[in-house]
Chains A and B, each alone.
Chain A
Amino acid sequence: MADDWTARINTGVPNPARIYDYFLGGKDNFPADRDVADQVLDIAPVARDVVEDNRAFLRRVVDHLTREAGVRQFIDLGSGLPTQGNVHEIAQAIAPEARVVYVDNDAMVVTHSRALLAGDNTVAIEADLRKPDSILGHPEVRELIDFDQPIALLLMAILHFVPDQEDPLGVVARFRDHLPAGSYLAISHGTRDIPARPDMSPEAMTEMGARVEKLYQLTTATLTTRSRAQVERFFDGFELLEPGVVEIQRWRPDDRDPRLPGGFFGGVGRKP
């Protein structure tokens, strides 16, 4: 460990978590990240709006699950670098006893999460969501989370970093099988399929998605956009809440900054 200090964090290689941070206006990013991020913005200037919309979607989902569904336990898979409006802040503002586990496989993300998010009823662990058992059986998860009580599993803007050959459907199913009845699954996911919008044709959007996917090949994770039908399949074994899997901007919007739909599909399902 002492001999190779860059093995776990290499700021010279573009990293999706830091690119996302840059889109959100954060400062925990480096030239390699900004280089790819700026190229993405050149192709898709809406990327910045979409990641902001994704934060807003997360806020509405956690708010709904805490306030309306009464969920008190959250596991945020692929939680990313801490920013404003983190899950425990949203949930604990409504229910101070809410418990949150942040999971990420990126050492820098976990270091920041442990330093800035961890506290009462909140832990951050370093684990890979593609290995569900390493998370479900993790001692810190077992200590904080009661697997006999409803749990909300959050997969925000992360499954598109799991390519088909790594069996994302199997991964989600494995988590599902360990969740007690009354638990929830929330997903947001990058897509090329976009409804007609005044500023862009569907063809242009598809083309844009393809080029962005290609750029992410330069990073530590590849990007796989998926269709609505493909995203819906992740909810096998769940009952989708209204309005189903839709563009995130259309999922129970509130009055705050309504924007044109596109970029990500999202939905929330309940395990019966």
Chain B
Amino acid sequence: MTTTALSDPVLEELVEILGADHVFTGRSARFNRARVPAPFPVHRWPEHVPDVVVLPTSAEQVAEVVKLANRYRLPVVPRAGATGLTDGAVPLRHGILVDVKLMNRILEVDLEDRTVTVQPGINMLKLNEELRQHGVMYPDDPASYPCSLVGGRIGTSGWSLIGGRYGHARDLVISFQIVLPTGEILEVGDGGGRKIRKSSTGFQLKHLFMGHQGTLGIVTEATLELVPRPEAEFSAFFSYPDYETAWRSTAALARSGLATLAGVVLFDEWKVRYLRRDDEAYIPQPPEVKAVVATALYGTSDEVRPAARRLLRIGLASGGEYLGDEISQGDWASRHDRYATPLHGRLAGGQVVPMSWHCEDAAVNWSKLPRVREEWHAIVERLSDRHPIFDDWGMFAYTNGAYKPWGDYLTEIDVGIWEQELDDESWAAWVQAKRDIAEVTVRHGGSISACHGACRAGEVDLVPLELGGQFDVMKKIKRALDPLNVMNPGKYLLDQAYEEETS
């Protein structure tokens, strides 16, 4: 059944560009592409449904769709795996949704210069299954590793669980091809060479076209880093009697200088309490376990074994107790796939209810972690006292620097939300809580997002405060590259660029 609001000439032109099999106007195709796992006002679902969904197979098709959108002044929203925890892939003004999932081919594996070139719809797990035969891998490892796609990782400039060793998406993506908001196809890299990692030629535009949440274009091809497949993995989980000891131990482990250290993760008391409800690894832990620190190493066997000995010594000397191989190895393996976790939460009385997972993230310096943690939990406590459909699932702090896992941390507070019970009042309270969380981050010298992006309702209001004059530059760039504001309009407060032009 066709229920789209688009006119027949638009649909006819889209069919001409893509073929009838790649243009979808039915309710199922459109409603299923309205949301992502980030909290979603389900009571206002129809506000976010695209008018039409297209699945292109080439950059040229994407470019033609974008040119058509400019001709008819229609919004274009790019969508890859739709696993993002901000609203990049959520349409705010309906329009044409460009789903890149059919662009999922490996175009070239270059074992001499250590790159792989892919289309944006490929998933990292699937890519690495193909790369294994060559003894190499692409080490981008988000919590959505089995289901997120390369195009979305570029649009988000996402964080990787093992970024302390291998870098994050911005470090691992060498260059890419992007369709600009006006329909031109552009090659973007660190300089001009498609496989060059470091250049000093001209402006550095690669970062500009990463993390824009689909507001500056649609990636259609990417050249990625290849690293040797690790011979050995070592993970160690330590328990602590209190948060402060665990926090200090986190710093000692992160500052160890071990080149194979891929990441350190701090679990606070709320997180351990939450895991004790349902997680088989934490239910049997004795009550004196109040905080946990996880660590992992990857590399050659000759590197990892001695590094593991040193890591164990540091963990034990800084107050930790080794939790054993079963939890260390089992829980670490599960960290590559957090989207598979069944989700339910608790009401104040303990009754189990279905809940969606929301993760509010920030980049925060190590010295600020304890204070930020207290203030964030207080915000969520006030929220859940007023609206029991919210449930505090605790906090993690992950090492956040590429190749240098110390100094600043991806800090997240996980909140369960009983989405079916959302209404305008509770949604407004949630959005205000997100504003409050972002305000704490900025006040403590942090950044509103280390990983997801900051364009969701609530925290986006604080983006101009965090960025200052940088936000004015963002608006000028947006207006210059997207003069008709067709590319994912409404995101990141960038409509302001056009309002100022009018006034």
A joins B in a complex: no
